[in-house]
Structure 1
Amino acid sequence: MYTLTDVTKTYVQKKRTVTALSRVTLEIPTGQMVAIQGPTGGGKSTLLQMLGALDKPSAGSVVLGDDKVSGLADSKLAAIRANRIGFVFQGFNLIPTLTALENVETAFARSDVSRDEQKKRSSDALESVGLGERGDHLPAELSGGQQQRVAIARALVKEPQVLLADEPTGSLDESTRDEIMELLEGQWRDRGLTFILVTHDSSVARRAERRLYLKGGVVTEA
Structure 2
Amino acid sequence: MYQLEKLTKTYTGKRTVHALKDVSLEIGDGELVAIQGPTGGGKSTLLQMLGGLDRPTSGSVRLAGEDLAALDDRGLTRARAQRLGFVFQHFNLIPTLTAAENVETALVPAKVPAAERSRRALEALASVGLAERADHLPGELSGGQQQRVAIARALVKEPTVLLADEPTGNLDEATRDEIVDLLEGLWKEQGLTVILVTHDSVVARRAQRRLRIAAGKVTEVA
- 1:182-218 per-residue CA deviation (whole Å, 9 max, x = no partner) reads 0011111111111000000000000001000000000
Alignment-derived partner of residue 144 in structure 1 = 143
- 1:61-98 per-residue CA deviation (whole Å, 9 max, x = no partner) reads 11000211111111100110111000000000000000
In the TM superposition, residue 41 of structure 1 has moved relative to its aligned partner by: 0.1
Normalising by the residue count of structure 2, what TM-score does the alignment of the two structures yield? 0.98
Aligned pairs for 1:1-222 within 5 A: 1-14=1-14, 16-222=15-221
Normalising by the residue count of structure 1, what TM-score does the alignment of the two structures yield? 0.98
How far apart, in 1, do the equivalents of 2:65 and 2:5 lie?
Answer: 14
Which moves more between the two structures, 169-178 or 54-63?
A: 54-63
In the TM superposition, residue 13 of structure 1 has moved relative to its aligned partner by: 3.0
| Equivalent position amino acid for 2:79 in 1 | I
Q: Structure 1 vs Structure 2: percent identity of aligned residues?
A: 67
Count, aligned residues: 221
In the TM superposition, residue 111 of structure 1 has moved relative to its aligned partner by: 2.2
Instruction: Extract structure 1 runs of 4+ deviating beyond 4 A.
Output: none
| Equivalent position amino acid for 2:218 in 1 | V
Unaligned runs of 5+ in 2: none
In the TM superposition, residue 114 of structure 1 has moved relative to its aligned partner by: 1.5
How far apart, in 1, do the equivalents of 2:82 and 2:149 lie?
Answer: 18
| Equivalent position amino acid for 2:138 in 1 | P
How far apart, in 1, do the equivalents of 2:70 and 2:101 lie?
Answer: 34
| Equivalent position amino acid for 1:59 in 2 | S
How far apart, in 1, do the equivalents of 2:89 and 2:66 lie?
Answer: 28
- 1:72-129 per-residue CA deviation (whole Å, 9 max, x = no partner) reads 1111001101110000000000000000000000001222322111100100100110
Unaligned runs of 5+ in 1: none
| Equivalent position amino acid for 1:4 in 2 | L
| Equivalent position amino acid for 1:92 in 2 | F
How far apart, in 2, do the equivalents of 1:212 and 1:67 lie?
Answer: 23
| Equivalent position amino acid for 1:7 in 2 | L
How far apart, in 2, do the equivalents of 1:206 and 1:153 lie?
Answer: 24
How far apart, in 1, do the equivalents of 2:65 and 2:110 lie?
Answer: 23
